[in-house]
A = this chain, B = another copy of it.
Amino acid sequence: MRLPVASPPLSEPLPDVEADDHFHDHCGVFGVYGHAEASNLAYLGIHALQHRGQESAGIAALEQGNINVHKGMGLVADVFAAKDTLGKLPGDAAIGHTRYSTAGQSVIENAQPMYARTAAGPISVAHNGNLVNTEELRNELSHSGALFQGSSDTEVLLHLVAREKGTPIERIQKALGRVRGAYSLLFLTEDSIVAVRDPLGFRPLVLGRLRGAWVFASETCALDLIEAEYIRELEPGECVVVDKDGLRTLQKLPPQRAGRCVFELIYFARPDSTVFSRSVYESRKALGRTLAKEQPAQADLVIPVPDSGVPAALGYAEQSGLPYELGLIRSHYVGRTFIEPSQSIRHFGVKLKLNPVPAVVRGKRVVVVDDSIVRGTTSRKIVKMVRDAGAKEVHLRISAPPTRWPCYYGIDTPVRSELIAASHTLEEIAKYVTADSLGYLSSEGMHASVQADKRGFCDACFSGEYLVQLTAPEAGVARTH
């Protein structure tokens, strides 16, 4: 096997990388209009969406034409830990945001919801997605005198809104006409919430109802927590406004090619959510069942890499008839604050998070089901861990095709050279992760499992078929929310 020197993941991974070698979703958004405790609901809503971003959190609330914002770095519970924080966000409409970001961009200037005072009044925005033509827009804006505080594409969007003419809603619509890319957006204006999905509908956005109030959220799990009723998915390209006159759709596209992110179903969304009108849990089980058909294994039992691999492993077990066991235990107490001891005994990475159950795997041929292999370093450790606990054979099964391409539509992915499947064969990967066998789900199997015809979903991270053309500067860099 030829492993090129320049291929970093196969040599010395960073401890943080080891501990969580996944693609990462970049944001959760939540909005509520018409409830006396809007900011309290927003707090609960973004808490339910915490899995979509753990690096910053914020809420903007509308009170009599004024918008108050509180945001900070850290988890929702920490950002809003001080006693009176929510009390300082009165009003009956609010939007919230929770954000993941790569280290370099993890700064408060990029935290959301963003806010500015404009000629059309105060405006705040929460964005899930990534715009791909912001470099040229930023240059243009800059040359006509715009000031930029941070490096985010959402700030570019706010500038565009401020420079258009008309009502806040007209400005928002005109500004959106100038951007390309992935966005599920919630705008809070002086008297309304405007909710928009990009024409391809990359990122999810759902609509719910809580008695008289309207609710928007990235996933239905946020509706469930506040006991709101799920109404429907916003459609790709749809723009909805809710104000004192109620909810209305301002714009809707005819049925067309869409680009829903299939990885939401594979890994990002919470299993108890409905996204893209599909049960995430059922989708994952179906992926596992198809995987069992396509990639059977002579084995004694099936175990998931918890927690994300559980539904696919259940599907695999069901289809294959092999017993399902919880052979790896996930610790509840691993967070970002854990300081590893600094000397010879470091590099605990995955071990701090996962521990095998020897009684389950000892002497057994074990199928380990996971949802993806990014760099391969974590998989390698998991296989070793299971084998060290006594497994006779370890067969790794992945409930998705190989991830070979970076995402430019709102997902944090490594550069291509770090994606092990981009430059290595199946055999090389199997050897690197030290598995007795390795099997990925096929692209067809994936689409069939989640009932995702290729015209409705984006699978660029597997196929390299990007649906929105990138302009030059973005091509090299995924800047996201």
The reply to whether A359 and B282 form a contact with Cβ atoms under 8 Å apart is: yes
Size range of the chain A interface in the assembly: 35 or more
Given known A-B contacts A50-B333, A81-B339, A281 and B225 have beta carbons under 8 A apart:
no
Residue among B119, B310, B335, B351 making CB contact with A145, cutoff 8 Å:
B119
Q: Which residue of B lies closest to A313 (CB)?
A: B326
Which A residues from 114 to 166 make CB contacts under 8 A with B?
115-119, 142-149, 158-159, 162-164
Interface centre among A117, A144, A325, A359 (most CB of B within 10 A): A359
Question: Are the C-beta atoms of B224 and A355 separated by less than 8 Å?
Answer: yes
Determine the distance from Cα of A225 to Cα of B41 in the docked complex, in whole angstroms: 40
A75 to B119 alpha-carbon distance, docked (Å):
35
Determine whether A356 belongs to the interface, using a CB cutoff of 8 Å to chain B: yes
Q: How far is the CB of A22 from chain B (nearest CB, A)?
A: 14
Say whether A343 faces chain B, with CB atoms less than 8 Å apart.
Answer: yes
At the interface, is chain A mostly helix, strand, loop or mixed?
Answer: mixed
- Taking the complex as formed, is A457 at the interface, i.e. its CB lies under 8 A from any CB of chain B? no
Decide if B345 touches A226 in the complex (CB within 8 Å).
yes
Report the separation of the CA atoms of residues A352 and B46 in the bound assembly, to the nearest whole angstrom: 12
Which residues of the other chain, B, contact A221 by a CB distance below 8 angstroms?
Answer: 329, 355
How far, in angstroms, from A165 to B311 measured CA to CA in the complex?
Answer: 60
In the complex the two chains form, what is the Cα distance from A66 to B149 in whole Å?
14
**In the bound complex, what is the Cα–Cα distance between A163 and B332 (angstroms)?**
42
For residue A397, CB closer than 8 A to chain B, the reply is no
In the assembled complex, the Cα of A84 lies from the Cα of B116 at a distance in Å of 31
Docked pose: A351 CA to B37 CA in angstroms = 18
Which chain A residues in 30-48 approach chain B with CB under 8 Å? 37, 40-41, 43-44, 47-48
Question: Which 3 pairs across A and B sit closest by C-beta, in order of nearness?
Answer: A145-B163, A279-B359, A40-B341
Q: Knowing that A40-B343, A44-B348, A116-B148 are A-B contacts, what are 15 other residue pairs whose CB atoms are under 8 Å apart, sorted by A's residue number?
A: A37-B344, A44-B352, A47-B352, A77-B338, A81-B339, A118-B148, A144-B163, A146-B146, A147-B162, A224-B351, A225-B351, A270-B329, A281-B359, A307-B332, A318-B323
Can you list 13 A-B pairs with a CB-CB distance of less than 8 A? A50-B331, A51-B333, A77-B337, A119-B144, A146-B146, A225-B351, A270-B355, A271-B326, A272-B358, A307-B330, A314-B324, A318-B323, A332-B332
